């Protein structure tokens, strides 16, 4: 199906849908200048997320992990939402049932105004005490290393889901509910490699949704979805608004 027909099909589906769910990955923030994890510019200051975004790395040397997160916080603090983020805020207002599931920890969906949102891998602007479990927002640039809890003095960690860690039950439940009840699932800017988000396309398809992928490159999701559009999110996503 050529591009115009695909876009017409998606807009028609959105025009008649009652429930729309969106899953985003690093590709939607790439157009805001936030590096992605994999692919050409996919590096965070020469570290691979799989090496540092783990509880083992933090247990071994919390200061190195915090240095890495400080570098990322400083970089992300200079970035702003792009037209794709704002198009999703617009989309949220148009449907009685809308939910946005993001793998991104950069906080740009919230900054753009998205409210019906699950940040399933956490948020780089939140910290969690390893002793008392308290979660706070923290926007210090840089955060003093090693940061300690104001309530109990315990060591603070980023409130982020690392590799090998379970996602929050509430986020998973909300995500599976949104995937099971939508007529359209839009998958935007993700390489479809990281689980459990990588399994969301088949979950929604099995529940009868029309699944759309918008991404720069083909991914494992490309075989599963109903239609796939290759392009930059900031150009393609606003085109889909009914």
Catalytically active residues are 121
104 binds, among ligand BV8, Zn ion, none (CB under 5 to 8 A by kind): ligand BV8
Site size with ligand BV8, rule: CB under 6 A = 37
Phi and psi dihedrals of 158, rounded to 5? -60, 140
CA atoms within 13 A on the CB side of 136: 14
Verify binding: residue 149, Zn ion, rule CB under 5 A: yes
Which of residues 43 and 97 has its CB atom nearest to ligand BV8 in the complex? 43
User: Site residues for Zn ion, window 123-142 (CB under 5 A)?
Assistant: 129, 131-132, 134
Fill in the per-residue mask, 157 to 186: x = in contact with ligand BV8 (CB under 6 A), - = not in contact. Answer: ---xxxxxxx--------------------
CB neighbour class for 83 (10 Å; exposed up to 12, middle 13-18, buried from 19): middle
**Across the beta sheet with 227-230, what order do the strands follow?**
117-119, 97-102, 19-24, 184-188, 210-215, 227-230
Verify binding: residue 194, ligand BV8, rule CB under 6 A: yes
Q: Residues 3, 4, 6, 11: is their CA dihedral positive or negative?
A: positive
The minimum distance between CB 144 and Zn ion, in angstroms, equals 16
| Residues within the interface to Zn ion (CB under 5 A) | 129, 131-132, 134, 149, 151-152, 154
């Amino acid at each position: 199906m050529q591009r115009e027909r695909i876009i017409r099909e998606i807009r028609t589906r959105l025009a008649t849908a009652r429930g729309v769910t969106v899953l985003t990955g690093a590709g939607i923030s790439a157009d805001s200048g936030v590096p992605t994890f994999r692919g050409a510019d996919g590096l965070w200051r020469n570290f691979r997320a799989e090496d540092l975004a783990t509880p083992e790395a933090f247990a071994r040397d919390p200061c190195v992990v915090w240095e890495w997160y400080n570098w990322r916080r400083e970089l992300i603090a200079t970035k702003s939402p792009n037209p794709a983020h704002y198009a999703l805020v617009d989309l949220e207002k148009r449907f009685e049932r809308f939910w946005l599931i993001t793998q991104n920890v950069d906080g740009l969906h919230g900054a753009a105004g998205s409210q019906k949102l699950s940040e399933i891998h956490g948020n780089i602007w939140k910290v969690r005490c390893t002793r008392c479990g308290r979660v706070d927002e923290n926007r210090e640039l840089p955060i003093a290393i090693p940061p300690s809890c104001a309530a109990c003095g315990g060591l603070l960690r980023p409130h982020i889901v690392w590799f090998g860690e379970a996602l929050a039950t509430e986020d998973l439940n909300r995500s599976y509910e949104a995937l099971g009840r939508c007529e359209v699932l839009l998958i935007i800017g993700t390489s479809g490699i990281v689980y459990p988000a990588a399994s969301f396309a088949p979950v929604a398809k099995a529940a009868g949704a029309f699944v759309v992928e918008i991404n720069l490159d083909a991914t494992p999701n490309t075989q599963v979805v109903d239609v796939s559009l290759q392009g930059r999110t900031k150009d393609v996503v606003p085109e889909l608004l009914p």
